[in-house]
Structure 1
């Protein structure tokens, strides 16, 4: 079996690629200094905006990955979408922003970013939201890049293996932020990530990294014992000095006002785990499967909530292990998480 890039670092810890500015160059560099595997988060960026982040990563380490959102269009139920937009409109108006009721679709500049990564290769590219086509996998392989896919079920793992994927990132349902599921319309049942890892490894003979619900070094150990060769941490790094987490989000994670997380489609039209706030309570019951259309629909509202320091209107991404998030340097935290399990 080929050694995967994330298996060559000193510690079996991967810094999650949290798009939208949360995984900053400083955070990725701190993960690398600690001996973990860093990612550049390519979601929501053009190829031109991604390029300097990759070059900055190269200045720190030659061992890293780049994460992309693979397109996964879901037919929009226009009636349900219009009803959601109408319900959002008065709430948005109260916050001084308008709502464009026309659905906006895009592929997150996916093709341009794949072209760039073929022209200027990196060690590893991971995909989430969908399994990349065999053609894309072959193009990246042709320039020496390894390809990983986020999977959330054994069926997805088998599909990925059939397309020539080199490694899997097994994401349990307790992970914060967006689920990487290739079927965003499905009902996602709660289960432990360790059990999912064991099920995947019983079906597919590929290296596995795993994440979701990680709240301590003990949770890292549990996933390693289940067969993962590395553990992905994201929520545990949200309060670190280097993370791009907003002040509003940081305060909410540490506040007693928010005491549960939930998978919701309310913010983006795709299941994502967040702290339960007023927006989730009001809009999750009528949320629709329509990513990225709902993401674009709510984007101005969420930006205003951030500007207004309003945690009740903001997407407060968090996994179930959010109480384990610590302040301080990400370098220190990664060392604490993985220091008991050095590779050498």
Structure 2
């Protein structure tokens, strides 16, 4: 059987390019007792991976140059030497290497029901993406019925989930995205109350004020930068700001200077809190149960942008910074 992997060839300076990655052919490994051989079916590409490509200290170890990149993946069991898994079972692993066939300890993956939902959903709305939206919004944002929730990166995987969960809570939802097509999706299919195209608006602060006449009670921040500066100027007293991502800054080669937000937080008695989904590991069963229920009830819609071809992983990852995806971006390895 053919087996390939994608390694981090060099650390990016600024925006990643194809030269930072290398596709290698390797041998198919053989599982030992307690291990399983799995074949990747769907692989997740996520903005946080850009941080792991640098060697700066962070909340997770950086990728090592010369070794395969890793992340969330859905895979099929090809060979098992563990009593709990059989050939044909499907598992989700976090992390699994960017590799077509690999051996993993059985206890590092979870078996999933092939019939409960599309397999790729376990990397999106029923995986880390959905739980990031669920815990970040409900635990930190604490939205109340009738409040205004603003979401940046609203057409992305996390943003679409946040907006819908806010609607379930009875909130008015305003989404910020970067194309008319994405805005139509948010407005027409997900029924966001208002949408803003940040590429078209020259005065973002005013655009947000117009879309949020009663101010902003919860701002779910996926992007940072000037968009977040504009939202912060419109927050209400006791606003809550969950910090999920800062994709507008991930490729910066110097530290940008923006408005000093501490006076705003002080005057508004606002709460701003960053988080990572691993903070909630012990509550994952709660999140999965609730998200699955909402999906079955039709309250949560999930869109994916699927790129086909294992070798397209670097291209798909780089595309995140151009906003090529609506919803979750996934690579199907076939």
**Which structure would you say has the larger Rg?**
2
Higher strand share: 2
TM-score above 0.5: no
TM-score, with length taken from structure 1 = 0.29
TM-score, with length taken from structure 2 = 0.29
Higher helix share: 1
Higher relative contact order (CA 8 A, sep 6+): 1
